[in-house]
């Protein structure tokens, strides 16, 4: 048995009231602010929610803080794609009748670090023994490690990676809430501060505060809500390794391939059906790996595909594929677990309310990464009932 396409819908969706640098609000309250906004979006109160899912914060803390009495709980926390995976688990739970109305929340004080749970690596963990002694300094020095091998394998130049940020900045220009909106050039990217060669500042995501929340229920209940329902057509998930040094193929993510294929098969769609695409971009190489691992481009071809303008605003023709239309983690916002913001933009596109609305878009694929190529979740959404 697989999930029946279109049987669950997103009826409530919202980001926090503000995004950016928010030193006057704690991480827990960012979750709550987003949750309250999503409930207001669809006219619900905490008493109407009977399922809750969140990542990093334990769902227990959030349920109690919000005054929710859940019959179903999911605390899957595998990084920034946890929310895509929550959508999948929620669909299964709703379909199985374990609960009726699920709230998925994200909140993160990534920039201001207010009310953040303590995080860290122990010296006897696998990472502590086999990676940390060599001086990695967070994601900019680890998520990026496979890229030189990719570039050499396919004879791709670093300017193709730099271009990802340039194209996405064009999309960000449409969004009043995006952190960075001014156009940039390839030269701007290639002359920005060196972070971890070959990655420069404008190839890395920004770090901000914010949150988002989704509310899901059975599709046949969706018409009783004031919002335009967004139907879940297919979903996939996978994990590979929490050690970047041990990923099977440095030019491709196994978790991407498994999650993506599962979601496409579940939805019964082909690549030609996709009107809009989000690929979680903590760093500029992610959309390139994602386009190839999801099957939109052949191996080594995604950089050229973007270079030719196919994912940019105004692209026309059969290759046009609007990608990361909020500007992505490189320009819109990135709190640390960005997946929720990619989901929010897919929902806006399917509702027809994005400031960068893709005309006539009916099918959106939203693809997330967790950790550093460690995990993945893919959600296929439709504006049309099954």
Cα 175 from Cα 332, distance rounded (Å): 8
Which of 79, 107, 136, 339 is close enough to bind other proteins by CB under 8 A?
136
Compute the distance between CA of residue 279 and CA of residue 288 in angstroms, rounded to an integer.
Answer: 9
Q: Site residues for other proteins, window 357-376 (CB under 8 A)? A: none
CB under 8 A: which stretch of 121-129, 183-191, 264-272, 346-354 binds other proteins?
121-129
In order of 141, 150, 259, 302, 344, the CA distances from 147 in angstroms are 11, 5, 21, 14, 28
Q: Which of 110, 146, 336, 371 is close enough to bind other proteins by CB under 8 A?
A: 146
Nearer to other proteins, 276 or 285 (CB): 285
d(CA 164, CA 166) in angstroms, rounded, equals: 5
Considering only residues 45, 64, 71, 152, which one is a binding residue for other proteins as defined by CB under 8 A? 152
Q: Give the separation between CA 105 and CA 98, rounded to whole angstroms.
A: 19
Number of C-beta neighbours around residue 183 at 10 A: 11
Contact status: 92 vs other proteins (CB under 8 A): no
Q: How many residues of this chain interact with other proteins, rule: CB under 8 A?
A: 36
Instruction: Please state the closest distance from residue 182 (CB atom) to other proteins, in A.
Output: 25
Residue with smaller CB distance to other proteins, 14 or 142: 142
Minimum Å distance from CB 135 to other proteins? 5
Closest CA to 213 of 7, 62, 24, 67: 62
Site for other proteins in 287-306 (CB under 8 A): none
* Binding residue for other proteins, selected from 124, 270, 316, 318, defined by CB under 8 A: 124
Cβ neighbour number for residue 238 with a 10 Å cutoff: 22
Q: Which is nearer to other proteins, 98 or 201 (CB)?
A: 201
Map residues 174-203 to x or -, x wherever contact with other proteins holds by CB under 8 A.
-------------------xxxxxxx----
CA separation for the pair 87, 36 (Å, rounded)? 18
95 vs 249, which CB is nearer to other proteins? 249
- Burial class for 8, CB neighbours closer than 10 Å (0-12, 13-18, 19+): buried
- As given in the structure block, the two tokens for residue 254 are 């196994």
Closer of 56 and 111 to other proteins (Cβ):
111
User: Which of residues 73, 91, 147, 337 is near other proteins by CB under 8 A?
Assistant: 147
Output the CA–CA distances (angstroms, integers) from residue 278 to 2, 75, 98, 326, in the order listed. 24, 24, 30, 9
Structural tokens at position 280: 């979680």
From 21-29, 241-249, 292-300, 365-373, give the range in contact with other proteins by CB under 8 A. Answer: 241-249
Taking the C-alpha atoms of residue 341 and residue 321, their distance in angstroms, rounded to an integer, is 19
Terminal C-alpha separation, the chain: 18
Pairing of strands 209-218, 8-15: antiparallel
Of 92, 186, 207, 243, the one binding other proteins by CB under 8 A: 243
Least distance to other proteins, CB of residue 141, Å? 5
- By CB under 8 A, tell whether 120 contacts other proteins: no
DSSP-based three-state secondary structure for 355: coil
Using CB under 8 A as the binding rule, whether residue 78 contacts other proteins is answered as no
Please give the residue ranges that form the binding site for other proteins (CB under 8 A).
Answer: 122-124, 126, 128-137, 140-142, 144-149, 152, 193-199, 243-246, 250
């Amino acid at each position: 048995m697989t999930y029946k396409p279109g049987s669950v819908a997103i009826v409530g969706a919202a980001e926090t009231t503000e995004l950016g640098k928010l030193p006057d609000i704690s991480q827990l309250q960012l979750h709550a602010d987003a949750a309250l906004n999503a409930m207001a979006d669809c006219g619900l109160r905490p008493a109407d929610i009977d399922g809750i899912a969140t990542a990093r914060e334990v769902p227990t803390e959030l349920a109690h803080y919000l005054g929710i009495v859940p019959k179903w709980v999911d605390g899957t926390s595998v990084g920034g794609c946890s929310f895509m995976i929550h959508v999948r688990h929620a669909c299964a739970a709703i379909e199985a009748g374990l609960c009726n109305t699920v709230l998925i929340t994200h909140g993160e004080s990534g920039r201001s670090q207010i009310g953040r749970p303590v995080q860290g690596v122990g010296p006897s963990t696998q990472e502590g023994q086999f990676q940390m002694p060599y001086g990695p300094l967070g994601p900019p020095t680890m998520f990026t490690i496979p890229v030189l091998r990719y570039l050499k394998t396919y004879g791709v130049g670093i300017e193709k990676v730099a271009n990802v940020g340039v194209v996405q900045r064009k999309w960000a220009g449409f969004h009043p809430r995006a952190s960075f909106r001014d156009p940039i050039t390839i030269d701007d990217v290639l002359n920005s501060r060196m972070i971890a060669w070959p990655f420069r500042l404008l190839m890395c995501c920004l770090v901000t505060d914010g949150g988002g929340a989704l509310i899901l229920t059975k599709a046949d209940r969706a018409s009783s809500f004031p919002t335009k329902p967004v139907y879940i057509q297919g979903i996939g998930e996978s994990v590979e390794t929490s050690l970047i040094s041990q990923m099977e193929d440095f030019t491709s993510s196994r978790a991407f391939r498994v999650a993506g294929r599962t979601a496409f098969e579940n939805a019964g769609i082909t690549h030609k059906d996709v009107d809009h695409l989000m690929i979680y971009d903590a760093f500029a190489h992610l959309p390139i790996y994602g386009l190839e691992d999801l099957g939109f481009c052949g191996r080594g071809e995604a950089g050229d595909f973007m270079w030719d303008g196919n994912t940019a605003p105004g692209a026309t023709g059969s290759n046009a594929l609007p990608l990361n239309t909020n500007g992505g983690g490189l320009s819109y916002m990135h709190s640390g677990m960005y997946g929720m913001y990619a989901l929010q933009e897919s929902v806006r596109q399917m509702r027809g309310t994005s400031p960068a609305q893709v005309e006539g878009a009916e099918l959106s694929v939203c693809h997330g990464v967790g950790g550093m190529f460690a995990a993945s979740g893919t959600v296929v959404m439709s504006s049309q009932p099954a």
